Amino acid sequence: SQTIHQWPATLVQPVGSPLSLECTVEGTSNPNLYWYRQAAGRGLQLLFYSVGIGQISSEVPQNLSASRPQDRQFILSSKKLLLSDSGFYLCAWSVGRDAQYFGPGTRLTVT
Amino acid sequence: KQEVTQIPAALSVPEGENLVLNCSFTDSAIYNLQWFRQDPGKGLTSLLLIQSSQREQTSGRLNASLDKSSGRSTLYIAASQPGDSATYLCAVNRPSNYQLIWGAGTKLIIKP
């Protein structure tokens, strides 16, 4: 069966510090991978998606970036965090355009 | 532009009742529609996926229907239990890209 992992589970970072969130998927090959952000009291916002290694599509221009160094690894990064980057970050995977399956999320608080 | 609406925003019912959650979308040209649940502070759990060519999908006490022509989907929960309390989200997958268009969710509370 397939599983998706995210870490860390929670993170508190000062404004201006760097960020690295990691997502890995097990039990499937060549998945589509997605990064979402869910701000408090708001809906999900797609940040990035990837259909293959090195292929990243950005949906929202911002100070975040994503990379996919391996088939089942997706990384969300920032060089300098802003207060507005606080939120709940969710990684998801799918096979093609079938159902998306989500990880447990990372709660990021920027202070 | 595709928009997804979920009504009501919140619903509280006593345990044991059958209930229906609604999801409507403005553009009938969809690839598929997916229902999720989210427990507080947790990730999303995929419940049911309905392809555009399908009318309904069932999993246990859950049944999701799709009527593309009217731009509606419903999630039917039979014999509700306190453990069903969560926020339920629907999302539409457009034919043109991988982006899901999300509803704002229905917060469901099942009272023991």
**pLDDT-based confidence at A39, cuts 50/70/90?**
confident
Under an 8 A CB cutoff, do B43 and A102 touch?
A: yes
pLDDT score of A81: 96
pLDDT, tens digit only, all 112 positions of chain B = 899 999 999 999 999 999 999 999 999 999 999 999 999 989 999 999 999 999 999 999 999 999 999 999 999 999 999 999 999 999 999 887 778 999 999 999 999 9
Are B21 and B89 within 8 A, CB to CB? Answer: no
Could you tell me where the beta strands, DSSP code E, fall in B1-112? 4-7, 10-14, 19-25, 32-38, 44-51, 56-59, 62-67, 72-77, 86-93, 100-102, 106-111
CB contact under 8 A, B32 and A98: yes
Q: What is residue B41's predicted lDDT score, i.e. its pLDDT?
A: 87
Q: Is A18 at the interface with chain B, CB within 8 A?
A: no
For residue A1, CA distances in Å to A27, A72, B103 come to 6, 14, 29
How far is Cα A64 from Cα B36, in angstroms, rounded to an integer? 26
DSSP single-letter state for residue A60:
S
Given an 8 Å threshold on Cβ–Cβ distance, is B43 in contact with A104? yes
Contacts of B40 (CB under 8 A, 6+ apart): none
Among B41, B91, B98, select the one facing A97 at the smallest CB separation: B98
CB contacts, 8 Å: B36 with chain A: 102
- Return the half-sphere exposure (C-beta side, CA atoms, 13 A cut-off) of residue A57: 12
**In A, which residues are within 8 Å of B46 by CB distance?**
99-102
Tell me: pLDDT of A20 over 80.
yes
Instruction: Identify the pLDDT of residue A2.
Output: 87
Q: How many CA atoms lie within 13 A of B63 on its CB side?
A: 10
Collect all residues of chain B within an 8 Å Cβ-Cβ radius of residue A102: 36, 43-46
pLDDT in the model for residue A61: 64
> pLDDT tens digit string along A47-97?
999 999 989 998 876 789 999 999 999 999 999 999 999 999 999 999 988
Whether residue B22 contacts residue B6, with contact meaning beta carbons closer than 8 Å, is answered with: yes
User: Between the CA of residue B76 and those of A15, B13, B23, B44, what are the distances in Å?
Assistant: 45, 14, 11, 18
Token pair, residue A29, equals 């090959």
Give the tokens for residue B91.
Answer: 């999302």
Chain B nearest CA to A107, separation (Å): 8
